[in-house]
Amino acid sequence: MRYCSTRGKIHGLSFTEAVMMGLADDGGLLLPEKIPVLSKDELQKLSELPYPELAFQVISRYATDIPAKNLKDLIDRSYASFEHPQITPLVKQDDLYILELFHGPTLAFKDVALQFLGNLFEYFLLKSGQRMNIIGATSGDTGSAAIYGVRGKKNINIFILHPQGRVSPIQELQMTTVLDDNVFNLAVEGSFDDAQSIVKEIFGDLDFKERHALGAVNSINWARILAQVVYYFYAWFRVKRETDCSGIEVSVPTGNFGDIFAGYIAKQMGVPISRLILATNSNNILSRFINDGDYSTANVHHSLSPSMDIQIASNFERYLYYLLDCDAEKVVQAMDKFHKDGKLSFTDTQKERVKKEFASSSIDDNETIETISTFHKKTGYTLDPHTAVGVAAGERVRNTAYPLVCLATAHPAKFGDAVKKAIGSDPDLPPAFIGLASREKKVVTIPANMERVKKFISENAI
Ligand SMILES: *Cc1c(COP(=O)(O)O)cnc(C)c1O
């Protein structure tokens, strides 16, 4: 399998090269040159496999330059860190299914991809004798999932900047109680935007970047999308066991368009997903795109589902590439226009095509709380605010001819305040959180100053 960029200047990369490149050198995003399609018979053969074996069957079609034995070992190790034997169990509640993606070490769905990416990086680095220093800024979820993905790994150090006192207490504890030698938490005296712009500036210093072999784990890495494709297969096989149906709809709480794009790939591969339901909070650029063909930025609002508080969805360009019939020249023009005008427009034919593949609804904070509360009264099951956005959107726009699967992207205890507001009591703490506050911590406070951060990295880089 070879990889190319959505902007047309990069071709013929191996899987290893695509993963190590991350963002394509021409500014685009990397995609497989051809998506493998599985026949009904091939799907049937995969339908009873346990999660790690299914993951191997899906991923090995893309990671063709890793020997099967090594890939299998990497995948097994990635999912051994999950608390649930089924990895991503499917549960039926009321008249819908919930695919629980939060049984990994940081209790959010990003673990599914980052546990795999961490092992993949280590494997490539050990093979080539190279090293990598990962740098990132986080407002919560991604930073902790990245830290747990690479903690204790060889040839990798990780530096995660978070705004001091401005991430949720649980998220802060998840990061700072990791004591491995290769993990560095920097509490920046400033806002998330300060932390993020420091990281961007550091990456802009190409000399520094090369000297310290800087790397990133952001959501545009193809390996992250690939790992997420697997659970769409898994969900379909599990629903199919319980009901006789010709397909499913899947509702996806969406921010950067990574998770739902994985669903789009699964559909191309043959998983009968009738429509993907794209659920947004009040940051609704993607809902406006699907419902009205209006892709235009607005200000970011803070919501009760903070991991979906985005306006520019970094993976959207991958879908755009397919919508523009894989014409890289058109993608370049569209992205230029978007950069200049802050918006894109689409033809009627394109809008129709989008509506065949997706449905969408935007759910505000009041509706989110209402959904957690109503669902809890009806079923006894507690949704986290991100999952609640997906459930509310799914219930609103679903086609009842198909079973509905809602992706549960975080454990409710991670967002205890919002949940308490909805159901009147704190959600149960999972074992991973008990006693977290009294553990030893490793964190360095640092001013919001790029030179100081660079100095720290220079002194501690591998
Ligand atoms: C990151 C995240 C999302 C959004 O996923 P995207 O791939 O960015 O669309 C949804 N819910 C939670 C809990 C997340 O951490």
Task: Give 455 or 203, the one with higher predicted confidence.
Answer: 455
- d(Cα 383, Cα 385) in Å, to the nearest integer? 6
pLDDT band at 196 (very low <50, low <70, confident <90, very high): confident
What value does the mean pLDDT of the chain take? Answer: 94
Instruction: Report percent pLDDT > 90 for the chain.
Output: 84
Which atom in ligand 1 lies closest to the alpha carbon of residue 410?
Answer: 13
Mean pLDDT of 17-33: 92
Mean pLDDT of 231-245: 96
Q: How close is the Cα of 372 to the center of ligand 1, in Å? A: 18
262 CB less than 6 Å from ligand 1? no
Judged by DSSP in three states, 410 sits in strand
Q: How close is the Cα of 256 to the center of ligand 1, in Å? A: 7
412 CB less than 6 Å from ligand 1? no
Element (H, E) at 225: helix 222-242
Mean pLDDT of 281-306: 92
Measuring from atom 8 of ligand 1, which residue has the nearest CA?
Answer: 256
Which pLDDT value is given to residue 301? 87
pLDDT surpassing 90 at residue 11: yes
pLDDT surpassing 90 at residue 152: yes
- Alpha helices per DSSP H over 22-128: 40-46, 51-59, 68-80, 110-128
155 CB less than 6 Å from ligand 1? no
Q: Compute and round to an integer the Cα radius of gyration of the chain.
A: 21
Domain spans of the chain?
90-107+223-423
Q: How close is the Cα of 245 to the center of ligand 1, in Å? A: 28
Which pLDDT value is given to residue 230? 98
Amino acid at 231: Y
pLDDT band at 433 (very low <50, low <70, confident <90, very high): confident
- d(Cα 188, Cα 68) in Å, to the nearest integer? 42
Which pLDDT value is given to residue 166? 84
Instruction: Report percent pLDDT > 70 for the chain.
Output: 100
pLDDT surpassing 90 at residue 297: no
Mean pLDDT of 65-77: 98
Which atom in ligand 1 lies closest to the alpha carbon of residue 228?
Answer: 7
- d(Cα 129, Cα 155) in Å, to the nearest integer? 8
Measuring from atom 1 of ligand 1, which residue has the nearest CA?
Answer: 307
85-94, 124-133, 197-206, 257-266: least confidently modelled range: 197-206
Residue whose C-alpha is closest to residue 448's, from 163, 175, 180, 170: 163
pLDDT surpassing 90 at residue 313: no
Q: Residue 338's CB: how many other CB atoms inside 10 A?
A: 18
pLDDT band at 290 (very low <50, low <70, confident <90, very high): very high
Which pLDDT value is given to residue 90? 98
pLDDT band at 140 (very low <50, low <70, confident <90, very high): confident
Residue 244: which residues within 8 A CB-CB, separation 6 or more?
A: none
Task: Give 321 or 429, the one with higher predicted confidence.
Answer: 321
Which pLDDT value is given to residue 139? 79
176-190, 374-388, 390-404, 421-435: least confidently modelled range: 421-435
pLDDT band at 233 (very low <50, low <70, confident <90, very high): very high
Which pLDDT value is given to residue 169? 84
- d(Cα 65, Cα 408) in Å, to the nearest integer? 33
Catalytic one among 45, 72, 92, 110? 110
pLDDT surpassing 90 at residue 223: yes
pLDDT in tens, 35-70: 999 999 999 999 999 999 999 999 999 999 999 999
Measuring from atom 2 of ligand 1, which residue has the nearest CA?
Answer: 307
Give domain 90-107+223-423's CATH number out of 3.40.50.11540, 2.40.10.170, 3.40.50.300, 3.40.50.1100: 3.40.50.1100
- The token pair at 99 is 């695919």
Q: Residue 162's CB: how many other CB atoms inside 10 A?
A: 25
Which pLDDT value is given to residue 171? 87
pLDDT in tens, 317-334: 999 999 999 999 999 999
pLDDT surpassing 90 at residue 142: no
pLDDT band at 219 (very low <50, low <70, confident <90, very high): confident
- d(Cα 343, Cα 238) in Å, to the nearest integer? 40
Mean pLDDT of 204-227: 91
Mean pLDDT of 386-405: 98
Amino acid at 28: G
Let me know: does 88 contact 53? Beta carbons within 8 Å: no
Q: What single string gives the DSSP state of each residue in 147-169? A: HHHHTT-TTEEEEEEEETT-S-H
Buried b / exposed e across 396-406, counting CB within 10 Å, b at 16+? bbbeeebbbbb
Mean pLDDT of 103-115: 95
pLDDT in tens, 334-379: 999 998 999 999 999 999 999 999 999 999 999 999 999 999 999 9
Q: List % helix, strand, coil for the chain (3-state, nearest 5).
A: 50, 15, 35
Which pLDDT value is given to residue 354? 97
- From 111, 174, 386, 414, give the residue whose CB has the most ligand 1 atoms within 8 Å, as the site to mutate: 386
- From 29, 101, 109, 287, give the residue whose CB has the most ligand 1 atoms within 8 Å, as the site to mutate: 109
110 noted as active-site residue: yes
Helices 68-80, 110-128: axis angle to 10 degrees equals 140
- The token pair at 445 is 């406070």
pLDDT surpassing 90 at residue 95: yes
- From 111, 307, 316, give the residue whose CB has the most ligand 1 atoms within 8 Å, as the site to mutate: 307
Give the largest Cα separation in the chain, rounded.
61
Which pLDDT value is given to residue 236? 98
Which atom in ligand 1 lies closest to the alpha carbon of residue 108?
Answer: 13
